[in-house]
Structures are given as C-alpha cells and as structure tokens.
Chain A
Amino acid sequence: MAVAVMFLNNACLRGRCCRHKVLQPLLGTFCADSMSKCYSSYRRPGSQPEVTPSWRNIDFSFKKGINALKTQLSLLKKETKDHLTGPDGHSFSHYMLEQTKVMWVFRCQEDLNKWVISSDVEIGGKSEVYLKLGRNNQGAMLYGILNTEVPRDGETKYSGYCSMRAKPAVGSFARKKYYDWSNFNSLYLRVRGDGRPWMVNIYTDPYFSHQKDDLYNYFMFTRGGPYWEEIKIPFSKFFLSSRGRVQDDQHPIWLDKISTLGFTLGDKVDGPFQLEIDFIGLLNDRAHTEEFAYETYERNPRI
C-alpha cells in the first residue's frame, strides 16, 4: 500500500496541477507529500508559496546542535540564579516596593528585534509597515502607508490594518515565559503620533485553543506632535475581545500572566501613518482606584 502511494506520488510530483484533481479525492490523507497540505490546497494571496519541504529546513549539523544546547544550558543557569534572587531576577523587596517599571525601550537594533510588525499583506492587502530606530537612536518609529483596498479573493470583506507586536518572552529550551504586572495598574507610554487613533492590545496567551483569539484592547488617541506625549492607560479600561469582536461577557484583565503587547492601526483612513515610541512602561497610579470600567452592575439581580 505504502509502495503504491509512493509510486503514485512520484509519478504526479512534477504535475502538481493535476494531483489535486486526481489524487486528492482518491487518496486524501494518504498523499502525505510535504508539498501539499492535506486539509486544504488553498493558499492565501499574501502568503509565500512553500518551495522547500519542511524537513529540508532542519539543520542536522551536530556542532550547531551542541552549541544550541550550550546556549540553552547557560540560559537555564541564569534562570536558576534569577530564581534564587527573587521575582524576575530582582530582590524581593524590589518587587514589593516598585511603583514604576520600564518594559520596552528602543535604543538599538536589538530592542527593535523584540518586536514583530505585520499588516494586511498577509491576507492579500496593500498596506505597508516598517519599523526603524528614530532620530539619534531615541525611540522607535513605526511608519508606513495604510491601504483599505480589499483583496479580490471573494471572501475578504475588510482590509487596511498595520500592527506591531512584542515577541513573547521565551526562557531556556523555548519555554514560554509570562510577565507579572500585578503590582501595577496602568500602562505608561511615551509616544509621538500623527493624530491617528491606535489600539493597544494585550494578549494573555491562554492554555487552550478555544481562547487563543482573546485579546484585551483599549484605544490610544495620539496628537499630531511635535511634542512627545505621555499616555497613561489604566488596565481597568481594557475590554475583552475575541477575533476582533467585543464580547458581551466582559471581564477585567488579570495581570499575573501577560504574554505580549501590541499596537494596531485600523482607522479606515487611507494614507501614510507614523508613530514614534520612546518607551513602554508600567505604573502604579495611586489615584486610580477603579477596578473595572465595564458592566460592574449585577446583570440578573435577585429580587
């Protein structure tokens, strides 16, 4: 059986166009060729065609494997030392008394590498987004052109977004790490925008895939500059959304397990945009006592 599959596969390897018509309906999942996905042969307009099979991308070099192991072990050693020191590698009294913390600052290329930019190109749109260091290496500049033209693929209805998102923290051996922001109650951003409204997104990386699209959002309205502005967004204002839809059942964000932060622009206005970010920090604003801004009343009161 396996030999028959291999034979058929090789025979049709060059004629990829007919494979989907002939082999896919006949053999389905038995055609486990790396060139085709078993579940769908559709490729999104913006995504690159897969030229090399995935197994070819694996580097079987023994020396590189040893070096990677050494790197991971040294990371593990550092993590162990930090664990003995205190939360996040700082002393316990530092944790108990901290009132402000700078999470991300943009001063060199390495700081930019901690972020990922994306736009609607991945769904076939035409927006452009770039990220570079600002003048005198003070701050990051996220700029580009927003284009709301909808890709002509018959299924996409809306387009026109650009975003920048922090890469999730990764520990030794590619284990996920989370930020503990429970000591703080506000996000503090020093930005210089162009007057466009941005959305700040916080992702808490849930364990199960049912909630993987859950995101906590709030708006950041920027002025046009030339002055830097310091924007404080309390965490109590963030609302829960899933796949971009605001949820009816709202809950405050729990700050003990934060994965990433991101900025999205999707204000449906074609044209260039620019956002400079000096740093992103956290603040414990003692004047802010609100716990949650939405739906704090009891929805089904017992009479």
Chain B
Amino acid sequence: MTMRDPTTNPCRLCAPLGASLVFRGISGGMPLLHGGQGCATYIRRYLISHFREPMDVASSSFGEQAAVFGGEPNLHAGLDNLIRQYQPALVGVATTCLAETIGEDVPAMLRRWRMQHPDGPELVPVSTPSYQGSHVQGFHAAVAALVAHFAEPMALERTVALFPGMISPADLRHLREIAAGCGIEPILVPDYADTLDGPTLSEWTPLPTGGTTIADLRRLGGCRAGIQLGRCADPDPAAVLTAHAGTPASTLGLPLGVRSTDAFIQALTGILGTVPAPWLAAERGRLLDAYVDGHKYAAGARVAVVADEDLAAALAGWLTEIGCRVVLVGSGGRSGRLLSAVAAAGGPGDAAVADQDHAALADLIAAAQPDLLIGPSKCAPAARALDLPLVRCGFPIHDRLGAQRLLTVGYRGTLRLFDEVVNTLLARKQAGSEVGHAYL
C-alpha cells in the first residue's frame, strides 16, 4: 500500500463544525461537543469569522481523567451548566475524535441523563469523528440525526421537507421564498437564515431568534416528500426520512442557474400540483435577459472552481450553462460523488478533482490557466500568486464582509453571481487595456 502524503493547507474542516452549524439552525438549539475544550473554541472562531455573528458552542471540556476513565461526568455536568445558562429547547451532542477514539457511548450517556431529567430539552446525539469525512459530512450527519430522532409515520400534510445543505443564510431565506412561490411552506432543516444573520439587539439573548422549530421537526413524518439539495450528501437526510416515515425522497442539485432552478421549481410544484407564482417567471425572465446581455463576455472564459462538493458541482453546471469553459472543479470533499454530481449538473466531470488540499489545488489552478477563480477566501493566496481575480463564494469567507448575505441560489442568486462574474471578467479586461474606455 502506498502511503498517503501529508496534507498542506487543508481544504476540509472537521465534522463537528458542520454539526455545530446545523444545531444553530434549530430554534432554541444549542450544540455541545463531547471532547476537549479547544474543538468548540476553534470551531466558534472559524464560524464567527465567516458569519460575523455570535456562535456559542459548548464543550464537555475533557481533562486527562475523562480521557482515561470516560467523559460521562463531564457530559452530564456540561448539559446541566448549558441548560442552566441557555435554557435550550434542544441540545445537539456531537462527538470529537477524542470521544470516538476512546469509545464513548454518547446515546447511552444521554439516556442515563434523561432518566434523571425527564423534562429536560430534546437531546440529539450525532457521531462526528474528525478522522472521517469532512465538515460537510458532519453537517449532513447532524441533519440525518435530527430526522432519525423526530420523524415517524403520521398522517400526511400539505408540506415538504427540504434539506438545503450548507448554504448561506440569504440562500435559506430565498429557498423559503421560492417554496412559498410554489405554494408550499416547507420544513427547512436546518434553517439558520435568522440565527446566523440577525439584527443588532437592544438586549442580549442567550439564543438567537429563528431556526427550524421543534414542532416542525415533529411534523417531518407528515411531509409529502423529502428533497435533498446536493447530490453528494452522505449520509442523505432525505433517504433517512424515507427509512423512518416512508416519505418519498428526491435528490436534486443546488438550484443555481436557469436549468437547475427550473428543476427545483418543477419538483416543488409537482408534489402538490401547484402553480408557480408570477414573480418566479418574472425573475427567470430577467435572468435570461441578463444572460443575453452578458453572454459574449462570458463566452469561452476559462474558470476554475474550488468549493465544497455540492456547490462546486452546481457552479460547474451553471458556468457551462452560460458558455464559460470550466477548467477545474476542485474540492476538499471526500464523498466520492463529485465527478458524477458535476456531470449531473451539466458540467465537465473530467475537470473534477476531490479530496484535495489547497496546496495541490494551487498547483492545479496554475496548470489550468484560468481567467477567473471562484472559491472561498482560502483561495486568496493562490489567486494572488497567479494574479487571478477571485470571486468569493462558498465557505469560508474570512477576508470580506457579507458571507451571510451572499445569495447564490434561485434565479435571483444566479443573477447576482452572473453580474459579479461578468463584471469581474470585464474589470480584468479594462485593467489590462491601454485605452481604458468608460463604456462597454
């Protein structure tokens, strides 16, 4: 067996980060990481730098004794203290690599705590060792754990379970609007549209307002369908919903671009036989008009994409839709599905490379000779070294404001991104021009 080379500048974070994000998207939800104190703090720092919002994550704060004799006393004390301070409606308990390695049985520990505290908050354990998968897999694992915890067969309602994947608060808000435009009030899991993009406060509140309510989580089994956005979700929460409540599942790409947004709207309206609201057609029309105005500037532009797998696939499909040449679709993800997801989105599967670090990606970007790079802040050093414009997109965005407001889904999000991509190409052309015209 050949030895795997070390990683330089990781393009993945660990699974508990994704799980923490999910539990922040539940109304009254609070993440608790079972392990050492640092994991919670590092994850908080990373997420705060992206969302620029408070992001409290508790820890059971292992010491040496816990590492040797087990962390149950720490977990129980952590729950008690957390509940006293925050009065959460739900605590999501995600494991760290330490807890997993010493073999902690967190579900059993939670059951024992529950026997002493029958009226306590909902407790949802999820196994998220950082030596498996990535932050994205931790995200999906936490959504799947919520579904498994709450979903059970029940009478059907006129609603749909929507699993959006790891997208921005602005995207989540827009997905709700699109669904409403299709006559559906979906149960969105998670929904951190408000908890991670909230207003300034007149008085501090321990937990932010917003998020998927527990009442809605209990209604998951009554959904007519479960839709997973993103084809790389592993585990796939929609499939877990099927297993627990028999709900039909469908998996779509992220709705980025005309075709994939059409497919999303078609899927939504197909479930209940509803008709899309006129504003959706109007937005679609404006997007097509923009495509026409800008198509020549996008034509043949060589674009390299770096993102988590589902966003990478969606971007590759959309760039192909507008006539760009996608020369690289890079990701740190490890689902094993990137190539097929890119192809399913209409992009060039042969440009897909997964399980990469940023050092390797920088070499691949250089070799691909793009005109433009789309990716997170961690691509900034490569963009700078190659004198490439970087359109920031995805996670993390640590060197610009507004990551929580970046809209990338639906006709509206596509239009925003289209303008930015075309204008970035134009700016590059203008900067390199000897004449420097002030018109197109």
Instruction: Tell me whether A and B are bound partners.
Output: no
